Amino acid sequence: MNQHDEALEQDHEPPREQDGPFMRLAEGIGDLASPFYREERQRDVWNEASAVGLQVALWLGTAAATAMVWIGGRTALPYALTTFTVTGIASWFALAYATRLGVRADDPRWFQARRLVPYAVLVLAFLAGVVHAAPTGAVGSGFAVGATGGGAVAVVCAVIGTVRARRRSMRTTD
């Protein structure tokens, strides 16, 4: 048992899933076995700082990708897509880790959809920029359709996830 597991037991957290490759990778990346995490206040402050840092990175990464695609056009498109993808993977990784430990980030008790509106506008501006910057011709139009379709699927999945979370919350409070 590593120090992170001991800290979780001391805080009476729910039992976690069996450690698999994903969890071992995440714990290694986060250096969660470090003695730094033994002291509760340090751990809490660092967790808050990491959450703030992740949000700043997501906003700045998405804003940078959007600016790249609108300012740099077709030439900047691969770089903008890479930046956008990296921020998306970081977000997904954080959500997947929390979910594996039994924490639902989409729980309506904590989730405020109105906070996502500016982010959704930024993502839509990015997708519009991708369509605008896509090369002309069959490949370019196919790329633009794929990017727009993928973005639409992501939005639909987010809406479905929010609706499911609200329904789940309503069932547990009844």
Write the pLDDT tens digit of every residue in 16-71. Answer: 555 788 888 888 887 777 777 778 888 788 888 888 899 999 999 999 999 999 99
Higher pLDDT, 124 or 8: 124
76 versus 146: the higher-pLDDT residue is: 76
Task: Please state, in angstroms and rounded to a whole number, the distance separating the CA atoms of residues 43 and 47.
Answer: 6
What is the structure's pLDDT at 164?
73
Tell me, what's the pLDDT at 14? Answer: 40
Report pLDDT digits (tens) over 100-153: 888 877 666 666 667 778 888 898 899 889 888 888 776 666 777 777 777 778
Map tokens 């509106």 to a residue: 117
Q: What is the model's pLDDT at position 125? A: 93
Indicate whether this model's pTM tops 0.85: no
The residue ranking higher by pLDDT, 98 or 69, is 69
Instruction: Please check whether residue 98 is in contact with residue 51, taking contact to mean a CB–CB distance below 8 angstroms.
Output: no
Q: With b meaning 16 or more CB within 10 Å and e meaning fewer, what string describes 116-153?
A: eeeeeebbebbbbbbbebbeeeeeeeebbeebeeebee
Of 67, 91, 89, 93, which is closest to residue 80 (Cα–Cα)? Answer: 67
Work out the pLDDT band at 15, boundaries 50, 70, 90: very low
